[in-house]
Amino acid sequence: MLVLAILYLFGDFDNTYALNVGAKFDMPMIPFMTIGIDAGYTKPKTTILGAETSMKMMSVVATISVIFY
């Protein structure tokens, strides 16, 4: 967390891109439940006190959902 605080206080983020993907799976044995998987990746470039650097950030999230009709 300290690194992120320093980046936001002293960093200058350039334009960057992010890749996001997700999938939803229905559970045929339990018709009112579904499972989802989401993933995201980004590598922002920043300049901290004159030094240019980049960080890799990746997240993977799994969800279980209840469907209300």
Give residue 47's pLDDT: 74
Per-residue pLDDT tens digits for 49-67: 777 778 788 899 999 999 8
Give residue 13's pLDDT: 62
Per-residue pLDDT tens digits for 12-47: 666 677 888 999 998 888 888 999 999 999 888 777
Give residue 8's pLDDT: 61
* Domain segments of the chain as ranges: 2-66
The half-sphere exposure of 6 on its side-chain side, counting CA atoms within 13 A, is: 7
Give residue 23's pLDDT: 93
- In terms of Cα–Cα distance, which of 55, 56, 23, 54 is closest to 39? 23
Tell me which of 20 and 5 has the higher pLDDT. 20
